[in-house]
């Protein structure tokens, strides 16, 4: 049986909300009140019992620890999280309000410069966000990656929270991360259709705004398979379907890399994008990209849309070369069965690569069977 004051047992009592049992345990273990007791019951992560109470929404225990044992509400763990970070991140409004009422620092920073408001914006809990803002939380503060609270809320996809943040801080949308990604990029990538609508209606992002890699929100939507958002950006934001990133790759190429067959059909069949269009710097086609990543289904889709199986990139490599180089056995076999005209592709080093790929596959199969 664990001795009185055992940290694991104390944390378990807090998690289970057993206030009376916790009181008895602490009285036996301590027997007197002193501020330094805050450090006695730390877990390996550096959490105090206050962190544990705040994380699990035990407001009565939180109050008991602060008022009876004088535990420090600004105690930090090894990630510099304070109890307010924990309560905000889990959406425990009672704990948030209690800590704020006791004077907790509203814009305290944890590791990577996250504030409690940023943590709250990872949850769809408008009331907690409102409480923090009412106590002076600043939505414009940025973490180490350059994201503010509005940017984080855009990723989570709750338009009600975005409207609120725009109401209390109308310029919150005018933000870019350190790699120049906007909330519109983030919402498009994560498939947050209603948020994208809200951003297009209320904010003023430039059409085809680019991050540091030259990627636009339209490209983000396409490469993640969010066709409805891609259509919305075309209709309401006049996005360009043929825009290229810093490497000269277009949305079609990016969709081939991630294997988004529906998006590829949309680009080629509905928008008329050339299925064999080349990335400017590498001269790779979408078929090359798909083969390089071993996206067999996408290779099949591209060929069904008329992609040239024998086209070569700027280094005279075919899709088969790239599939073999990546040791993508299924993709290599499919390309071989799809009417290649140049059988010389399988000579020399390429043949060795293919043989190695097959050997690896067979070895894996034997191991799986045994």
Domains of the chain: 1-105 (1.25.40.20), 139-205+216-237 (1.25.40.20), 280-337+350-370 (1.25.40.20)
pLDDT given at position 6: 77
Measured in whole angstroms, how far is the alpha carbon of residue 107 from the centre of its chain?
23
User: Are the C-beta atoms of 193 and 229 separated by less than 8 Å?
Assistant: yes
Average pLDDT over residues 174-189: 98
For tokens 């990335």, name the residue.
279
The pTM of the full predicted model, rounded to 2 decimals, is 0.88
pLDDT given at position 370: 57
Q: How far is CA 164 from CA 133, 172, 317, in A?
A: 10, 11, 53
pLDDT for 31 beyond 70: no
The dihedral through the CA atoms of 239, 241, 243, 245 has a sign that is: positive
pLDDT given at position 357: 56
User: Are the C-beta atoms of 239 and 218 separated by less than 8 Å?
Assistant: yes
pLDDT for 95 beyond 80: yes
Q: Provide the pLDDT confidence category of residue 348 given band limits of 50, 70 and 90.
A: very low
Q: What are phi and psi of 79, to 5 degrees?
A: -95, 10
pLDDT given at position 4: 59
Q: What is the pLDDT of residues 259-315, one digit of tens each?
A: 999 999 999 999 999 999 999 999 999 999 999 999 999 999 999 999 999 999 999
The dihedral through the CA atoms of 93, 94, 95, 101 has a sign that is: positive
Q: How far apart are CA 130 and CA 120, in angstroms?
A: 10
pLDDT given at position 35: 43
């Amino acid at each position: 049986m664990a001795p009185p004051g055992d940290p694991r047992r104390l944390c378990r009592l807090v998690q289970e909300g057993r206030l009376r049992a916790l009181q008895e345990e602490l009285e036996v273990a301590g027997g007197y009140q002193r501020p330094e007791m805050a450090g006695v019951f730390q877990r390996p992560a550096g959490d105090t019992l206050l962190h544990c109470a705040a994380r699990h929404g035990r407001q009565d225990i939180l109050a008991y620890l602060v008022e009876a044992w004088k535990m420090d509400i600004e105690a930090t763990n090894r990630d510099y999280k304070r109890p307010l970070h924990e309560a905000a991140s889990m959406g425990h409004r009672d704990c948030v309000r209690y800590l704020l009422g006791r004077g907790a620092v509203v814009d305290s920073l944890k590791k990577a410069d996250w504030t409690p408001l940023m943590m709250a914006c990872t949850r769809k809990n408008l009331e907690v966000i409102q409480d923090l803002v009412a106590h002076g939380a600043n939505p414009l503060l940025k973490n180490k990656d350059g994201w503010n609270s509005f940017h984080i809320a855009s990723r989570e996809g709750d338009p009600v929270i975005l409207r609120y943040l725009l109401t209390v801080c109308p310029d919150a949308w005018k933000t870019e991360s350190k790699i120049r990604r906007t909330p519109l990029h983030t919402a498009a990538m994560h498939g947050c259709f209603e948020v994208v609508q809200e951003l297009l209606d209320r904010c003023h992002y430039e059409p085809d705004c680019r991050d540091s890699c030259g990627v636009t929100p339209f490209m983000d939507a396409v490469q993640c398979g969010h066709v409805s958002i891609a259509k919305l950006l075309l209709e309401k934001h006049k996005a360009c379907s043929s825009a290229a990133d810093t490497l000269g790759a277009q949305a079609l190429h990016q969709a081939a890399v991630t294997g988004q067959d529906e998006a590829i059909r949309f680009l080629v069949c509905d928008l008329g994008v050339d299925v064999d269009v080349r990335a400017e710097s590498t001269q790779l086609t979408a078929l090359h990209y798909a083969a390089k990543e071993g996206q067999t289904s996408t290779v099949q889709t591209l060929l069904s849309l008329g992609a040239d199986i024998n086209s070569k990139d700027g280094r005279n490599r075919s899709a088969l070369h790239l599939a073999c180089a990546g040791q993508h056995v299924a993709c290599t076999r499919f390309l071989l069965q799809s009417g290649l005209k140049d059988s010389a592709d399988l000579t020399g080093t390429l043949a060795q690569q293919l043989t190695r790929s097959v050997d690896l596959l067979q070895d894996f199969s034997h191991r799986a069977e045994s």
